[in-house]
Chain A
Amino acid sequence: ETGVTQTPRHLVMGMTNKKSLKCEQHLGHNAMYWYKQSAKKPLELMFVYSLEERVENNSVPSRFSPECPNSSHLFLHLHTLQPEDSALYLCASSQEGGADGYTFGSGTRLTVV
């Protein structure tokens, strides 16, 4: 039991679709993250939310839109994606200043057709 739950586990969407990925953490952490893991690239940080405020955006395309309504929930809204956006999207949470590192969810495997 990771304490971080991601849904759905798998998603297939067309390039004109709009979908959302959901992440929920039950650990009382105050920071949440989206990472993208492609087959041939290192794990890439997409977004960081600390105390519900977005503090970093690593020049991710605008077709990815994060939302963090509270410290327990994180969404990634997707629209007009490209086939190269197919990847494993991982959510993580942490306690800022803590020693325990990040707790990751199992990820959403996204395929854009």
Chain B
Amino acid sequence: GEDVEQSLFLSVREGDSSVINCTYTDSSSTYLYWYKQEPGAGLQLLTYIFSNMDMKQDQRLTVLLNKKDKHLSLRIADTQTGDSAIYFCPPKGRRALTFGSGTRLQVQP
């Protein structure tokens, strides 16, 4: 089965905050990543967090990690239409990052 669970879809209004959640099964990853994929494009690394941290802030992005519950979240402040994309939180498998289906974020004007 998949190593990560995410909601498939999230819709927010422009200017609101978005929170994308991720629950993973493998807890051995040293780093945990968030990727963004815009339509027809490859995946873009947004940010990452070291596994011994519980929070990282990077401009409009805030990553929260609850290692005990194996829960990772990405908060996007002041969400813009350009944030509409699919977001992935791939854990590190045996030799490579393992991607789930991702969460499609739709930002409504």
List the interface of chain A (C-beta within 8 A of B).
2, 4, 6, 33, 35, 42-43, 45, 48, 50, 55-56, 90, 92, 99-107, 109
B44 neighbours in A (Cβ, 8 Å): 2, 104
Q: Which of B30, B43, B93, B102 contacts A90 (CB 8 A)?
A: B43
Q: Measured between alpha carbons, how far is A56 from B95 in the docked complex, in Å?
A: 8
**Chain B positions 79-109 with a Cβ under 8 Å from a chain A Cβ:** 88, 93-102
Q: List 7 A-B contacts (CB under 8 A).
A: A43-B43, A43-B88, A45-B98, A56-B95, A56-B96, A101-B35, A102-B97
Contacts of B9 in A (CB 8 A): none
Provide the bound-state CA to CA distance between A109 and B95, in Å: 25
B2 engages A42 (CB within 8 Å): yes
Closest 8 CB pairs of A and B: A43-B99, A104-B42, A104-B43, A106-B42, A42-B101, A101-B33, A101-B45, A56-B95
